[in-house]
Amino acid sequence: MTLKEKMQFAFNQSKKIIIMSFFTLNVGIMVVDGLPDQSKLGERFMSFVKRYQALVMLYQPWAMFAPNPMNTNAFIEADLKFDDGSTGVWKMPRPLNINGPRKVLTGDRYRLLGQETLLPNQNELVWFDVSRFVTREVMQAESTGKNRILKEISFKRYQSRVAPPPEAPLIPHGTLSSKYDIETIFVYTPTFERIRHEATNNRQ
């Protein structure tokens, strides 16, 4: 066997090893993470790969499946109040409104954030982080626009429950919700100071 043939053989073997390793790792994560009960070995394996799993979003909540699948569509928007009395609306990106590679990479993350994380009276630290993010984003836009000062952010949750048959007629896949219950669930007052912030996380 010539040197060229040996290198080609080694290259082909390396490709097989890489493909099999990738396949085994990903299938292993899905199988172990999907088990109702994990052994100590399974828990140790999942703790080892958790950063990779989060990066590639290689997980699936049991709530997606029977017997009690999720039946609520929800997303977050925010009403903005400025120092001159004017108002505006900040809209969180949603998979519905994202296109291209960004939809694949971030669409489901925004869905999880708006539907399962930003809930009333829960995850207060996440609410503060999102509020600061919105403040920075709005003020950056204002610095090249009307130069208004943001005085208050009122986050609203839009929620639509999809009733299963026979409670309601079957809705074809891909049909968008048209009616939402709207609830103000978090109010944030930017102070533009380094430490002090004021907010309420109560149902209004």
pLDDT tens sequence for the chain (204 residues): 788 888 888 888 899 999 999 999 888 888 888 776 778 888 888 888 888 887 777 766 665 555 556 678 889 999 999 999 999 999 998 888 888 888 877 888 888 888 888 988 889 899 999 999 999 999 999 988 888 999 999 999 999 888 777 887 877 877 777 788 999 999 999 986 544 445 556 554
Q: Specify whether 160 is located in the same domain as 128.
A: yes
202 occurs within a structural domain: no
Q: Specify whether 178 is located in the same domain as 90.
A: yes
CB of 156 within 8 A of CB of 182?
A: yes
196 occurs within a structural domain: no
Q: Residue 75's beta-bridge partner residues?
A: 158
Q: Specify whether 180 is located in the same domain as 93.
A: yes
pLDDT of residue 65: 58
Q: How far apart are CA 190 and CA 46, in angstroms?
A: 39
CB of 95 within 8 A of CB of 180?
A: no
Q: Specify whether 78 is located in the same domain as 140.
A: yes
Q: Specify whether 106 is located in the same domain as 146.
A: yes
Q: Specify whether 111 is located in the same domain as 24.
A: no
Q: Specify whether 184 is located in the same domain as 91.
A: yes
Q: How far apart are CA 200 and CA 124, in angstroms?
A: 10
141 occurs within a structural domain: yes
Residue from 52, 34, 73, 43 nearest 180 by CA: 73
Q: Specify whether 26 is located in the same domain as 85.
A: no
Please list, in sequence order, all residues whose beta carbon lies within 8 angstroms of the beta carbon of residue 202, skipping any fewer than 6 positions away.
120, 121, 185
Q: Specify whether 82 is located in the same domain as 101.
A: yes
pTM equals 0.67
Burial readout 131-156 (b: 16 or more C-beta within 10 A, e: otherwise): beebbeebeeebeeeeebebebbbbb
Count of structural domains, the chain: 2
Q: Specify whether 60 is located in the same domain as 76.
A: no
Tokens 């995850």 sit on residue: 123
Residue-number span of the structural domain to which 114 is assigned? 72-188
pLDDT of residue 91: 92
